[in-house]
Structure 1
Amino acid sequence: MKYNYIFIYILFAFGYLKGQTKIEKKAEIQFDNYAFENAIEAYEYLISKNYSSYDAYKNLGDAYYNLGEYGRASEWYGKQLSLPNESFDITYFYKYAQTLKSTGELDEANKWLQTFLDLSKSDNRANLLKAQPNYLNDIDNNSGRFTIKNSAINSSYEDFSPSYYGEKLIFSSARDTGLVKKNIHLWDNGSFNDLYIATDKSDDGDFTNSELFSKLLNSKSEETSSVFTKDGKTIYFTRNNFDKKNFKRDEDGVSRLKIYSANLVNNEWTNIKELPFNGDDYSAAHPALSSDESKLYFVSDMPGSLGLSDIFVVSIGAEGSFGTPVNLGPSINTESRETFPFITDDNVMYFASDGHPGLGGLDVFVTKLNISNDFYVQNVGKPINGPSDDFGFIINNQKGFFSSNREGGKGGDDIYSFTQSKRLELIRTKIINGIVKHEHLDSIITSVNVDLVDLNNEKIKSTVSSVNGDFNFSLPLKEGNYKLITKKEEFVNDTTSITVKPTDKELNLIIKLNSVPIEKAIVGNDLFKLLQLDNLYFDYNKWNIRKDQEEKLNEIVEYLNLYPDLNIQVKSYSDSRGGEKFNQKLSEKRADATKSYLTLNGIKAERIKSNGFGESNLLNDCINGVDCSEVMHQENRRSEFIVIDK
């Protein structure tokens, strides 16, 4: 009987494991097909049965991350990264930090970001973080420029991606239109999105109601982000890869996104066609037009992408032809998601990213477009950005709209209206590196206060030179003239003028300070006493200048350079130990070594007399036969610097 029970148990366990394997396979397929809700259900069922797997935790984290549920994503990323003996992909250190920021755990997020930085060698996200170590302060400085309001057009469904259509607003929504919706989006088990139009505008710039935009444009597939030409006769919009009856899928079974265009003829949208740079094996989405409508910006993961989704630009020909798409490059694109571009009339681009330093999830960023594709990117700050996903930003005459899945909304993604009270100056970050040295000694000076000020003496930023004598400023600066004011006790304050040019990315400076001048010595003065220095000491039975004594001699050099008509006598001594003749010779060698150091550092030999006086002038009672400590003997092994007539 015992054998039978064991056998039955083994059969049961084998059947369970076999079933578990099938569920795991199903979960993987659902995840790979972007059916994240279904994948989550399958993985969490497995884990409830005490199943543990690196891939399961990772995929659960990614599934929740892609759904914008960062709290749950953080939970599973934490479990993933706690597993032992795994070769982690360091990008998950970054993603985990992003989710921690979204849940308000900033200290823990910073720890994982630092781990990510320590291990990253060529990741663009790491480079951006290193270039902006104080990015949270920069975001705070950019914040407070907007007042926002949840728009009246929102429903309890997904409402997002607003775009201007003349004085009207087009947006994407998954709301129920009164028709039976047979198509369910595998991404989140929600209905597919259609384009809607809002026409009634309130005094504060918001819209109050909406309706389905066009039955000809909206299909059984997914229609989302759109952009219109200024004459309102052409639309570019996003749709799933779809023919008249079915989705078209790639070899992995995924229906990719494509950009389509249509023309308004006799008040009907017609001539719907996909753009020629679309592909069946990658997505293209979220179109935006340049101010002169000669270029189309869009998002894609096509070959040549740097990350999960990149922003590209393609030229539009006079007859509506299209050139070859060009990636905007690493100033914009990272290994993460860059998406939802919008271009203003003055060629400023807003876009969303979770690869640039931000507050968690997707943040809205802004940059000024230029022909060199070398962009300075700024986070637009709070309250537009927060710990959730913030994206789909559009603006016109200081008013606009954006999308967010932040708490307190009506649905998952909501549209928010806003008014901007102050424009953000798009100024490139300049890096000013400096080192503070002594004017005459060329030695470094530490703990120097350094102020960067404008020409009106308004302080811009302050820092302190490090133990290596160096300092650094990294901040946005307009082209023009500035001043660096350096201060430290016992040194003369210095003002250094600098000029910042538009092409400058980095300035490297050497600041030299003079010690505060001390009154000119008179004949008979001991310079060591005048400069409040301890005596110059020597080791027992040695005459070489010790390393720990050089700084004292350097100050003598500096003082003699300040007063080039002063002459000195170096008077050197020994302690009482040893014979008088030996000590006399030893003290003479010490005097010569002292003079030699001064001359090697630029003081003319004719200004220096050097004499040894043996044990003739002891500073304490350590004469022959008296038992003294080494410290007391040390006091007598010295050189003095007495001012003399020439």
Structure 2
Amino acid sequence: MKKGLSVIALVFSLFLGNTSSFAQAGLNTAEKRYDRWAYMDAIKMYEKVFNRGFSNQQLVEKLGNAYYFNARYSEAQKYYQKLFSEYNSSDVSTEYLYRYAHTLQNVGDEKEAKKYYDAFVKKAGSEAQISKIRKNEESLQKQIKENSGRISNIANLAINTPYADYGSFVNNETFYYTSARDTGNFAKKRHTWTGDAFTNLYEANVNEVGEQDNVNLIKSVKTRLNESSAIITKDRQTMYFTRNNIVKGKRRYDANKNTKLKIFRAELIDGKWANITELPFNSDQFNTTHPTLSADERTLYFSSDRPNGFGEADLWKVTVNGDQYGTPENLGEGINTEGRETFPFVVNNELYFSSNGRVGLGGLDVFAANIKDNETFGEVQNIGTPINSEFDDFAYYIDGNTKNGFFSSNRDGGKGNDDIYSFTELRPLVLDCNQQLHVKVRDAKTGELISDAKVTLADGFYNVNGTSYIYVAPTYNFNHGYECGDIYHIKAEKEGYVTQEIKVTLPNESGITEAEIILEPAKIPLKPGDDLFKALNLNPIYFDLDKYYIRPDAALELAKVYAVLEEYPTMKIDIRSHTDSRQTHKYNETLSSNRAKSTAEWLISNGINRNRLTWKGYGETQLVNGCADGVDCSEAEHQMNRRSEFIIVEM
């Protein structure tokens, strides 16, 4: 950006004939026929205002940005330092933490730069997380409604008893589940799967469980305490299941003398489950429960209250390579909450689980999320009614081909405690959230599209995802895949304009997000007849009710008018004050006249020659809309009429 204020006068002349006198006459005619133009450097005008002691947060941000985007970091530091020292940091947008940190780094203050980088990462990370998982309740309820009604043929299974019956897994038409049926130990607590009731593993023909109670106890894995949540590998040679901490017949305890739950592995030998061993990532000090396998059986998911989680129990995963296991990894905040996440199940790269830490219908609800190619997760969705209810609904299982499945619930109408229900899915759950981002750049004065700006797309942490130099309808194209809920920073640059950057947060639902960047011309064209209020994009000149003295916020706007008058010493303006139609004509005429005079006197008191100003109050005689006496209008419509104008009379 060039230093100093520039004035460009464009004088148009027509020449006819060969004599100097005729040429002079032509020039005079041209001066009368054409307006003379001048251009005000917007940023230098703001700087003049600042140097006269008038500023607010918006002005300081604009000045800092003007130098920052032109890599003039020492000048940018002056304004960003003021921004963070004199204004409430909670009111300053997150991107200014990044810009100030980057500025400090470029001027060599590494220690202070790190402080602001750390603050940016902390705040930006929080915003990114909130944008993804903390959708407002109204949006979540809408999602639940959209996901409901997809299920039919819900039926209580014949194998249920008055005791705890829950959990479902099907392999080769064999139905595996958990029950307290043969213990006689009625589970008085609601969540029997926590280990408070003695349960065992059973199997039955999947085609019979809805019609007859013909089940078999899996005796080879039974102990005197609990077994539950069995899954079988595709080759039917390995079983993973949950069991109380009993190893080689001996019961083990944690530091508080409680027996925790662990995941065990069994091998099928001669038709019986044998070689039962606990998995190496178990511990005597916390619970590790409810295993399930990925489609390729190379990842085992489970629930655990082990340390470094987010809530009461989290979902974790561990790699599987034969009988070797990796280090458990938490599935992260996108999945886990401060509550309990449990009973994971994976089918067709979709993760289903139950949680009481999210907005739902009550108790445990079943939720689902896509497992992406990079092993991250898509948006978590409540799968809706009738699977979910005001009671605990958990242990969801569905066959990816037949769309028949099972879930467990302690809802009313069952046989008692937890029961297993069968169902059929009529239409699939739409878990893919597809977003498109369409970017346009417009001229702030004309509103016209700018098709040749340099537009840069960066993520929420300012990692650049792409740059585009041309607009091809409907967008500047970055060849970038957008993620629902993600935050992006979009910067537009073009010679002759002030660089602008906006932040866009994509919604957590499929659709097209349209973003517009409005570029202000770096130099503002001025000519007789122009209204400085509009040309300078001033904020409204507000007065207190029934008053006409200049308030501090109005003084800041008038300081911008003053800067123009100072730059152009021959400029004359006419100050016009208008009111809305409320109150009487006479009252409004007097009030507007006093306000116009007050405005002029402020400029005069700050050094503008009185002869350069005229002023008049027009009351309600020049309304810009139909809000006349007796017409019902909104406050916003009335505000359009309560305006000030600064009309250039001469240049």
Taking structure 2 as the reference length, what is the TM-score of the superposition? Answer: 0.50
Matching residue within 318, 323, 328 for 1:325: 328
The structural deviation recorded for 1:420 is 1.0
Cα 1:313/1:547, change in 2 over 3 Å = closer
* Structure 1 counterpart SS, 2:268: strand
* CA distance in 1: counterparts of 2:173 and 2:328, whole angstroms: 31
The structural deviation recorded for 1:281 is 1.2
Matching residue within 417, 426, 436 for 2:422: 417
* CA distance in 1: counterparts of 2:197 and 2:575, whole angstroms: 96
The structural deviation recorded for 1:208 is 3.6
Structure 1 unaligned blocks of 5 or more: 1-120, 443-494, 515-522, 529-535, 555-566, 574-582, 601-608, 621-637
Residue 266 of structure 1 aligns with which residue? 270
* Structure 2 counterpart SS, 1:155: coil
The structural deviation recorded for 1:612 is 4.4
Residue 150 of structure 2 aligns with which residue? 145
* CA distance in 1: counterparts of 2:552 and 2:446, whole angstroms: 17
Matching residue within 218, 223, 233 for 2:222: 218
The structural deviation recorded for 1:568 is 11
Q: What does 1:475-624 align with in structure 2 at a 5 Å threshold? A: 501-503=481-483, 505-507=486-488, 508=503, 511=516, 570=574, 590=600, 612=614
Q: Is the 8 A contact 1:125 1:356 kept in 2?
A: no
Cα 1:342/1:568, change in 2 over 3 Å = same
The reply on whether 1:197 has 2:203 as its aligned counterpart is yes
Partner amino acid for 1:506? I
Q: What does 1:353-364 align with in structure 2 at a 5 Å threshold? A: 353-364=355-366
* CA distance in 2: counterparts of 1:386 and 1:211, whole angstroms: 28
Task: Deviation per CA, 1:477-517: give whole Å up to 9, x if none.
Answer: xxxxxxxxxxxxxxxxxx98999833461353564799xxx
Q: What does 1:151-162 align with in structure 2 at a 5 Å threshold? A: 151-162=157-168
Task: Deviation per CA, 1:146-175: give whole Å up to 9, x if none.
Answer: 122222221111110111122121110111
Task: Deviation per CA, 1:424-469: give whole Å up to 9, x if none.
Answer: 2223486999999994399xxxxxxxxxxxxxxxxxxxxxxxxxxx
* Structure 2 counterpart SS, 1:216: helix
Residue 523 of structure 2 aligns with which residue? none
* Structure 1 counterpart SS, 2:300: strand
Partner amino acid for 2:326? G
Residue 426 of structure 1 aligns with which residue? 431
Matching residue within 238, 241, 247 for 2:245: 241
* CA distance in 2: counterparts of 1:432 and 1:241, whole angstroms: 52
Matching residue within 377, 381, 393 for 2:380: 377
* CA distance in 2: counterparts of 1:170 and 1:430, whole angstroms: 40
* CA distance in 2: counterparts of 1:164 and 1:301, whole angstroms: 27
* CA distance in 1: counterparts of 2:228 and 2:127, whole angstroms: 31
Q: Is the 8 A contact 2:532 2:645 kept in 1?
A: no
Cα 1:610/1:151, change in 2 over 3 Å = farther
Q: Is the 8 A contact 1:543 1:590 kept in 2?
A: no
Cα 1:145/1:436, change in 2 over 3 Å = farther
Q: Is the 8 A contact 1:571 1:642 kept in 2?
A: no
* CA distance in 1: counterparts of 2:415 and 2:129, whole angstroms: 33
The structural deviation recorded for 1:140 is 1.3
Q: Is the 8 A contact 2:156 2:210 kept in 1?
A: no
Q: Is the 8 A contact 2:170 2:206 kept in 1?
A: no
* CA distance in 1: counterparts of 2:598 and 2:199, whole angstroms: 96
* CA distance in 2: counterparts of 1:222 and 1:328, whole angstroms: 27
Task: Deviation per CA, 1:550-585: give whole Å up to 9, x if none.
Answer: 999x9xxxxxxxxxxxx9984879xxxxxxxxx9xx
Matching residue within 397, 400, 420 for 1:394: 397
Q: Is the 8 A contact 1:124 1:335 kept in 2?
A: no
Residue 448 of structure 1 aligns with which residue? none
Matching residue within 368, 371, 378 for 2:370: 368
Q: Is the 8 A contact 1:201 1:208 kept in 2?
A: no
Matching residue within 299, 306, 311 for 1:307: 311
* Structure 1 counterpart SS, 2:176: strand
Partner amino acid for 2:167? S
What is the total number of aligned residue pairs between the two structures? 401
* CA distance in 1: counterparts of 2:126 and 2:340, whole angstroms: 17
* Structure 2 counterpart SS, 1:277: coil
Partner amino acid for 2:335? I
The structural deviation recorded for 1:611 is 7.0
Matching residue within 273, 288, 292 for 1:288: 292
Structure 2 unaligned blocks of 5 or more: 1-124, 448-473, 489-502, 505-514, 520-527, 534-540, 561-570, 578-592, 622-643
Taking structure 1 as the reference length, what is the TM-score of the superposition? Answer: 0.51
Cα 1:591/1:335, change in 2 over 3 Å = closer
Residue 39 of structure 2 aligns with which residue? none
Task: Deviation per CA, 1:280-334: give whole Å up to 9, x if none.
Answer: 111111010111111111111223322211111111123x111221111211122
CA RMSD in angstroms comes to: 5.5
Residue 229 of structure 1 aligns with which residue? 233
* CA distance in 2: counterparts of 1:618 and 1:270, whole angstroms: 95
Cα 1:435/1:379, change in 2 over 3 Å = farther
Task: Deviation per CA, 1:35-89: give whole Å up to 9, x if none.
Answer: xxxxxxxxxxxxxxxxxxxxxxxxxxxxxxxxxxxxxxxxxxxxxxxxxxxxxxx
Q: Is the 8 A contact 2:170 2:176 kept in 1?
A: yes
Partner amino acid for 1:391? F
The structural deviation recorded for 1:545 is 11
Query: Which is bigger in relative contact order (C-alpha 8 A, separation at least 6)?
Result: 2
* CA distance in 1: counterparts of 2:342 and 2:620, whole angstroms: 79
Cα 1:127/1:359, change in 2 over 3 Å = farther
Partner amino acid for 1:166? N
Task: Deviation per CA, 1:236-290: give whole Å up to 9, x if none.
Answer: 1111112465532222121111111111122122111211211111111101011
* Structure 2 counterpart SS, 1:210: coil
Q: Percent identity?
A: 35
The structural deviation recorded for 1:411 is 1.4
Residue 171 of structure 2 aligns with which residue? 165
Q: Is the 8 A contact 1:589 1:612 kept in 2?
A: no
Partner amino acid for 2:236? G
* CA distance in 2: counterparts of 1:538 and 1:298, whole angstroms: 64
Cα 1:357/1:498, change in 2 over 3 Å = farther
* CA distance in 2: counterparts of 1:349 and 1:436, whole angstroms: 40
The structural deviation recorded for 1:216 is 1.0
* CA distance in 2: counterparts of 1:330 and 1:181, whole angstroms: 40
* Structure 1 counterpart SS, 2:395: strand
* Structure 2 counterpart SS, 1:238: strand
Residue 564 of structure 2 aligns with which residue? none
Partner amino acid for 1:387? E
